[in-house]
Structure 1
Amino acid sequence: MITQTERLIIRPFTEQDCEALYLMNSNPAMLKYIPSAAFTSREQAVELFHQVIQGDYQQHGFGRWAVEHKADKRVIGFCGPKFIPEFNEVELGYRYFPEYWGTGIGTEAASAALAEFKRFGIEQTIALILEGNLGSEGVAKRVGMHWREQNEFMGHKVNIYAKVL
């Protein structure tokens, strides 16, 4: 486990989370502001886990973390750091199933995750938020991030929020 809050456990992803990864990456509502194609098979989630998530854990010592809802005993999204080579910076990223939007989960998890970043040698972080994603911008602001600039990422306009930890 990385950390926990009253409602959440934030922990590394395991192979048992591949179904949740598939659902997160195939749900059209969750992908509205994500610049990649929806998954069409569960094998894509297994590949994401082994190639990307585990690769980040091994290469950087950190990566996206599973957010488990204590009451539901299920993974409801992710929150955590990811090194973004295009910017040579670490991003705080987060995504949750729509039924948890507007419940404070995003801010709760992001705040708890940020409190652990220094333990992984992360001194500052950014959030890359696609233009129009007001929910994610709200989370970034509530955890003390400030708008830095507009840029482009994966062919899309993004607002970059930043915070020195």
Structure 2
Amino acid sequence: MIIAETDRLILRQFQARDIHSIFLLNSIPEILTYIPGEPMSSIKQAEEIFADVIVANYEEFGYGRWAVEHKADKKVIGFCGPKYIAEFDEVELGYRYLPEYWGKGYGSEAGKSALDLFTSFGVDEAIALILLGNKGSENLAKKLGMEHRNRDSFMGHKVNVFHKHL
């Protein structure tokens, strides 16, 4: 199901055919520098995340992380979208991209499109939880109009919490 389109991207629900992309986004060490947890080591782990987290979020909330598909090459280059974070009782805008697509404006293009849709799901505020030192993600959050709210802890790591009223 297509959620949104931009000039260069399609934001859509993840599907079973995207499991390899989910694996890549969770197994490449360079991508995971500022992501808590260990890199995935098997496709089975991606299958479990797809079923137990992504699809479960779609079913429970009507939203979740969305695949970001590059129109020109039809490749899933990352994800961007909302996720309810129980520990904060708030909805996070999360995003992650393959390294070869960093620095080309895809993050801000997808992020703006995703944030524009939050209110259609009854969400009027968004946060971003960014591990300390992740200047790239902080810069993207700022570019999307988010402001630093405070420092907190998430999954055993210190994070900067960015926030935006929509």
- Considering the TM-score relative to the shorter chain, is it more than 0.5? yes
Residue aligning to 2:156: 155
- Computed over aligned residues only, the root mean square deviation of the Cα atoms, in angstroms, reads 0.5
Residue aligning to 1:115: 116
Identity of aligned residues (%): 56
After TM superposition, give the deviation of residue 129 of structure 1 in Å.
0.3
How far, CA to CA, are the matches of 1:127 and 1:90 in structure 2?
8
Residue aligning to 1:104: 105
How far, CA to CA, are the matches of 1:9 and 1:64 in structure 2?
13
How far, CA to CA, are the matches of 2:60 and 2:14 in structure 1?
15
CA deviation string 1:57-91 (max 9, x = no partner): 11111100000000110100000000000000000
How far, CA to CA, are the matches of 2:97 and 2:139 in structure 1?
14
How far, CA to CA, are the matches of 1:71 and 1:135 in structure 2?
24
TM-score (norm 1): 0.99
SS at match of 2:35: coil
Unaligned runs of 5+ in 2: none
Question: Following superposition, which runs of at least 4 residues in structure 1 exceed 3 angstroms of deviation?
Answer: none
CA deviation string 1:79-130 (max 9, x = no partner): 0000000000000000000001110111110001001111111110100000
Aligned length: 165
Residue aligning to 2:96: 95
How far, CA to CA, are the matches of 2:108 and 2:139 in structure 1?
9
SS at match of 1:31: helix
After TM superposition, give the deviation of residue 41 of structure 1 in Å.
0.3
Residue aligning to 2:38: 37
How far, CA to CA, are the matches of 1:63 and 1:112 in structure 2?
14
